[in-house]
Amino acid sequence: MNLAEKKISRKELLNEPDEFITLSGKTIQYVRNHPRQATTAVAVVVLILLIGLGFHYYNNYRENKSHELLQRAIYAYEAVARSDTSTMPAQLDQIQAEFDHVASQYPSLSSGQQALLYSGHVLFRKKEYAGALEKYKRMQSTQLAGEGLSSLMLYHIGKTYLAMNQYEQAVVIFDQLAKDSNSPYQREAYGAIARMYEMMNRKKEAVQAYRQYLKIFPEAPDAAFVKSRISDLSPQSAEESS
């Protein structure tokens, strides 16, 4: 019989040394022989555990605190947004400061990144478009933007360029949204591009943009309006009106 195929008897198995017991015995023996080193090792392990627990609880505290501050600022912002903000510059300034505080104190947390976004919204409402644009662009490099909010950031950037009458830059941004079939702003982007070409008096590009809009969204609720704009901007209409 091959030795490799030889079965080990129960008696032989019982005589085999238990690795756990052997290791435990060696550990006990080491502790007896080296009490100071053993005490130091235990203290280090306990310290590491305490540091880990402290870090965990500290992170939870920061998350809860940042969320609380963010929600308070959002509530105040929404209350002002529902009213006439033209008579409330002081309230907007205070809300701006609250969002900026959360964004600066908790930049790596979701609450801090949301605060940065809302800070941009407040600046936009105050018509401080350059500041709003800076906030929105900073948001593009955050974790939230990488988790599905990139289209939202592009939308607000394009909207801000439009408010600043920087149509060329706005067209570039909205064109990115228009080409993204997964973007919830695709239809709005096509419409915005056409309207901006109109504002720049580039009728040919406006007509092309409107036609592309109807091609992709033939059942759009404003399809009739788009068709009328195509008719008004087309060369034939211009010749007939002259």
Does 237 score more than 60 pLDDT? no
For 15-30, what is the mean pLDDT? Answer: 59
User: What is residue 18's three-state secondary structure?
Assistant: coil
* Higher per-residue confidence, 46 vs 55: 46
pLDDT in tens, 115-160: 999 999 999 999 999 999 999 999 998 988 877 788 999 999 999 9
Beta-carbon count within 10 A of 56 CB = 10
Task: Tell me what the pLDDT averaged over the chain comes to.
Answer: 83
* Higher per-residue confidence, 86 vs 195: 195
Does 63 score more than 70 pLDDT? yes
> What proportion of the chain, given as a percentage, has pLDDT over 90?
57
CA dist 163 to 43, 108, 167, Å?
62, 30, 9
* Contact partners, residue 168, CB within 8 Å, separation at least 6: 200
Q: Contact 170/162 with Cβ under 8 angstroms?
A: yes
Cα gap 90→17, rounded to integer Å: 79
* Higher per-residue confidence, 199 vs 237: 199
Tokens standing for residue 204: 């040919």
Does 162 score more than 80 pLDDT? yes
Q: Contact 134/118 with Cβ under 8 angstroms?
A: no
pLDDT band of residue 30 (cuts 50, 70, 90) is low
Q: Contact 151/180 with Cβ under 8 angstroms?
A: yes
Does 161 score more than 60 pLDDT? yes
Residue type, 145: A
Its pTM surpasses 0.85: no
What is the maximum span of the chain, computed from C-alpha positions, in angstroms? 112
Tokens standing for residue 98: 């609250």
